[in-house]
Structure 1
């Protein structure tokens, strides 16, 4: 019995000794890794300092250490991703300055795609939209300045200016054999974000051009205004470049009563957030179709992707832009700062938007509906024996009918004529009608 006791104590002692030795080994390994990491950092910094010193000493043109550091920082930030960059004093000042007067702009949102400055979307009704710029256009030159290696902030700074001043934009467009030069006159950019119309009296068409601070409120008002009549909703997010995240979450919340809308994940715990729908905010359960295209980005992709993941809407159109990252501006001195990507957005299913975009459930390319209007045929009116008075009567009837159609078009209604000009919208109407029948 005594031997058993000593054996047990001896076993525990050996186990404790082993654990202490194991813990000491782990601590030693951890300490060794930290030391190696610090040594590697010092070695990298020494290499960087050596290169700076060599360039400063031997470069054919004299360059100050300050200039070299600015160039090094700018190059480093640009090589992280398309949306990170180093803001020198003038850029940071431009970012911080809040002017009381109006500034002139073109009304486009731009991004970097495959290394090229690309139009994400022209905002509806702006000078860029009226001049004919389109989503996906690659900007080669702004005035006579090449956009090669130009950051987004630099491009935006050049495009802004005094209201009424002209600017030349040279673009490359898919399907065109040579570059196109477009002259645009800068204007005051004021955007109406939400437009609504009705189709066949029971379908509500809601167009959201950008996510400003009133989107959720305006869409909610429109839905409540047509409550009881609306059997289906078409949400048009084409050429919507994004905007405020809380408005995107709020818009989804109008249609989804629970679950994750979008999550934001970064390396730090403080950069991780989850945005959820609340049943108290949900106001509509009617069938829903969402329209998207290559100009739908950021907040638009969050809305369409979240509604798609929740199986709350059928997404129709073309693949979206693929902008799903979060940037913050971090000052490094009183006059300089860096803009850094700190997180990415993830949809409810866990998939990312960044550089991937949202693929529609039903792919439909833009264009008009083919009709037989231009088809050659011989009608009774072409025959010689047709009575003149009957012809005059028909012409009078046609004019009256045309006048009635124009009066209808002036109202807040989408007609068949309008649908024939937009095949994506027509397809959406056909799908929503089918969903209404299925629900009924």
Structure 2
């Protein structure tokens, strides 16, 4: 055999191995060996359209821009929470989980093609201006939001501190849309806030589950104990309007109140990596004082994990209104050009096996906010997962139990914020009544 022919055979062998590796890699990524032919036909269709657009569109196109748009369209067709993040947005997302970013302070989604507020973040420009859950954002400055993507909307609302933006809002009860002039600020989301409600009774508010929420909660509980003679008689854990955040932080927050070895949450997905169980680990646990957890329609995802775990283990009484119902897990996947993929990869289940997807956590005691306008107390004013386009149903398909109604009880004295918050007052009522009942039951 000549050297030349031998060289050709080696080259062909290398080429064959390379092609084989590409096809094996592609097949492994797509997990679609059974439907490979159909998938390749679809990909071919996509490349044909891309070639036609590049060749025949009236103006020269930016290939990366239309590829990004195609990827985003593909993901948003799946469910309301899967999305594509261009490099700039991906960078912002990583900053946001640390609790600091520039903008207005609003959690948003798409409902019926309209940009809709899930909840404003406390102590932000949006919150102070009176933006509310369920508000429809019709315009951002002069740009209409009809069919605008969430990523585009976020990009338009983010910006340097001190710059201005006008949101045009429609809300049930308004005769016409209302403009809200806002000034952007550096949003420093304080994950945990706390105070003493009454002698021995603590209050902890978790606004969002961030990288240091567990640490902040531990410090808050320790301070509350010190402020109350070394121990607590009861705790109100406020998860209202908490849109969620990091799964591991939800688990760690629940661990403070759940005994070692007990299940907190488990996830189920198509891939092995999506099937996980999270049990309470060894560590410092809170004493078995009574706990009331407050939730509402703005309590989503990680906050529902905590509420569901404490409810299933009968460690707390859940009070308030039906939660949002986001029972899915999103995995953040970095891509080669510094962009990112937010993909729904699993459903999560409470310890008893409940999927809350599109259902939410049903409170043990339903208590409405009496300080809200009548229009916001209507059922239609509460935006939940089941209202979102392309949401998927819960696995068991069971209906949500009907909400129970409660009568008003006397309120205790406290600071101005607490005196104006009927749900906190009811929670404090329950904790005090719990303690009185224990004393009465032990009496001879």
Q: Does TM, normalized by the shorter one, top 0.5?
A: yes
| CA 1:52–1:275: 2 relative to 1, 3 Å | same
User: How many residues end up aligned between the 2 structures?
Assistant: 361
| CA 1:219–1:265: 2 relative to 1, 3 Å | farther
Q: Is the Cα contact below 8 Å between 2:196 and 2:224 reproduced in 1?
A: no
**After the TM superposition, which residues 362-381 of structure 1 pair with which residues of structure 2 at under 5 Å, given as runs?**
362-368=365-371
SS in 1 for 2:436: helix
| CA 1:91–1:322: 2 relative to 1, 3 Å | same
Q: 1:355 aligns with which of 350, 355, 358?
A: 358
TM-score (norm 1): 0.72
Q: Which residue of 1 aligns with 2:5?
A: none
| CA 1:159–1:198: 2 relative to 1, 3 Å | same
> In structure 1, what is the Cα distance between the partners aligned to 2:80 and 2:152?
13
Q: 1:280 aligns with which of 279, 283, 291?
A: 283
Q: Is the Cα contact below 8 Å between 2:195 and 2:224 reproduced in 1?
A: no
For residues 281-333 of structure 1, give each alpha carbon's deviation from its aligned partner in whole angstroms, at most 9, with x where no partner exists. 32221111111112222221111121112111111112222333333343444
> In structure 2, what is the Cα distance between the partners aligned to 1:278 and 1:94?
32
Report whether the alignment pairs 1:439 with 2:438. yes
For residues 154-193 of structure 1, give each alpha carbon's deviation from its aligned partner in whole angstroms, at most 9, with x where no partner exists. 2222212111112111222233343222111112222333
Q: 2:127 aligns with which of 129, 141, 144?
A: 129
**Which structure's CA Rg is the greater one?**
1
| CA 1:175–1:429: 2 relative to 1, 3 Å | farther
Q: CA deviation at 1:237?
A: 1.5
Q: Which residue of 2 aligns with 1:79?
A: 77
- Between structures 1 and 2, the one with greater helix share: 1
Q: Is the Cα contact below 8 Å between 2:311 and 2:317 reproduced in 1?
A: yes
Q: Is the Cα contact below 8 Å between 2:95 and 2:101 reproduced in 1?
A: no
| CA 1:128–1:70: 2 relative to 1, 3 Å | closer
SS in 2 for 1:280: coil
**After the TM superposition, which residues 306-317 of structure 1 pair with which residues of structure 2 at under 5 Å, given as runs?**
306-317=309-320
CA RMSD of superposed structures (Å): 3.2
Q: CA deviation at 1:83?
A: 2.1
Which residues of structure 1 form unaligned runs of 5+?
A: 1-33, 370-412
Q: Is the Cα contact below 8 Å between 1:197 and 1:414 reproduced in 2?
A: no
Report whether the alignment pairs 1:189 with 2:204. no
Q: 1:289 aligns with which of 277, 287, 292?
A: 292
Q: Is the Cα contact below 8 Å between 2:292 and 2:318 reproduced in 1?
A: yes
SS in 1 for 2:172: coil
| CA 1:347–1:432: 2 relative to 1, 3 Å | same
| CA 1:436–1:167: 2 relative to 1, 3 Å | same
Q: Which residue of 2 aligns with 1:426?
A: 425
> In structure 2, what is the Cα distance between the partners aligned to 1:246 and 1:36?
35
Q: Is the Cα contact below 8 Å between 1:257 and 1:281 reproduced in 2?
A: no
Q: Is the Cα contact below 8 Å between 2:72 and 2:84 reproduced in 1?
A: yes
Q: Is the Cα contact below 8 Å between 1:220 and 1:254 reproduced in 2?
A: no
TM-score (norm 2): 0.71
